[in-house]
Amino acid sequence: MASQRIGSNLEILEEIPSTNTLLMNREPEDAPHGLVLAAEFQSQGKGRQGRRWFAPPRANLLFSVVLRPKTPLSGLATLAGACSVIEELEALGVPARLKWPNDVVARAAHDQALRDGRKLGGILCESKTEADGGTRLVLGIGLNVNLSEADFPREIRTLASSVSILLGRLVDRDPLLAGILNRLDRAWTDLEAHGGETLIRKARFLCDTLGHLTEVQLGEGRIEGIAEDLDSQGRLVLRLESGVKRLLEIGEIRQTRRMD
């Protein structure tokens, strides 16, 4: 089951509530490792923290991948997804970066702070334990591809962007999806065979959050510190003003300022 290449088994559906929900709810035998489910439209697309993920029909990439890790790896799976998207975008000529933990953002010019990087896509990784004790991860990826500024709801128009806006032309979504899946397959194979070292090194390089004075929302509270590093499990190492280091598994970055 675990040897199936990611994407060699691809289902594309016209309209469903959510690719993540469908793969989470399938019987184990209908959700093998590497299966990819893409949708042209989701009526109940899910974002992180219970938010909705909205996308008009036939414009974006909306897909989920079943992963059956040998060891539970949810944080690293999110990073593998984000890095695969970012590297494929860069190969296409779209400068992109990771906003920890799961956002793909347009790379701001280097004299600008992270807050100028508009969101291009996001990752939602869900997991469940199967009856046989194994783990099912469902790695959901949403990427804004062929959207114009007017296609975004007014309230996020200044916060989001798309591949076509940044490139100034429409983009064929099939090769983009294939490229992301190939990269994800290679990253996953390496992760399972050799551990997370290569992935973390890559994620550190692609992560715009590091090196900034960063405010993180944690549930109801907020903490501020310097985003120093990603640890071996993909957690954010935040050094608080007191000098204490906090390891964050989740959290929402509110604001960052450069340290100059």
> Is residue 84 near ligand BTN by the rule CB under 6 A?
no
Closer residue to ligand BTN (CB): 53 or 188: 53
CA distance linking residue 68 with residue 3, whole number of Å: 10
**Of 102 and 164, which has the nearer Cβ to ligand BTN?**
102
Q: Which is nearer to ligand BTN, 69 or 142 (CB)?
A: 142
- Residues in contact with ligand BTN, counted by CB under 6 A, come to a total of 21
Q: 3-state class of 91 per DSSP?
A: helix
Q: Give the largest Cα separation in the chain, rounded.
A: 54
81 binds ligand BTN per the rule CB under 6 A = no
Which is nearer to ligand BTN, 117 or 122 (by Cβ)?
Answer: 122
197, containing H or E segment: helix 197-206
What track of x and - describes contact with ligand BTN for positions 29 through 58 (by CB under 6 A)?
-------------x--xxxx--x-x-----
For residue 158, count CB atoms less than 10 angstroms from its CB and return exposed for 0-12, middle for 13-18, buried for 19 or more.
exposed
Helices 74-92 and 173-194 pack at an angle, to 10 degrees, of: 140
Q: Please check whether residue 58 is in contact with residue 31, taking contact to mean a CB–CB distance below 8 angstroms.
A: no
Strands 35-42 and 9-16: parallel
Interaction of residue 173 with ligand BTN, rule CB under 6 A: no
CB of 37 to ligand BTN, least distance (A): 9
| CA angle in degrees (0–180, nearest 5) for 138-233-22 | 5
Nearer to ligand BTN, 61 or 226 (CB): 61
Window of 27-35, 119-127, 186-194, 216-224 that interacts with ligand BTN by CB under 6 A: 119-127
Asked if 97 touches ligand BTN (CB under 6 A), the answer is no
The closest alpha carbon to 142, from 201, 208, 60, belongs to: 60
Contact in structure between 221 and 112 (CB atoms under 8 Å): no
Q: What binding mask, one character per residue, do residues 7-26 give for ligand BTN by CB under 6 A, x or -?
A: -----------xxx------
For ligand BTN, which residue of 6, 36, 62, 210 counts as binding (CB under 6 A)? 62
Q: Say whether 178 sits in a helix, a strand or coil.
A: helix
- For ligand BTN, which residue of 79, 80, 124, 160 counts as binding (CB under 6 A)? 124
Using CB under 6 A, list all residues that contact ligand BTN: 18-20, 42, 45-48, 51, 53, 62-64, 102-103, 122-124, 140-142
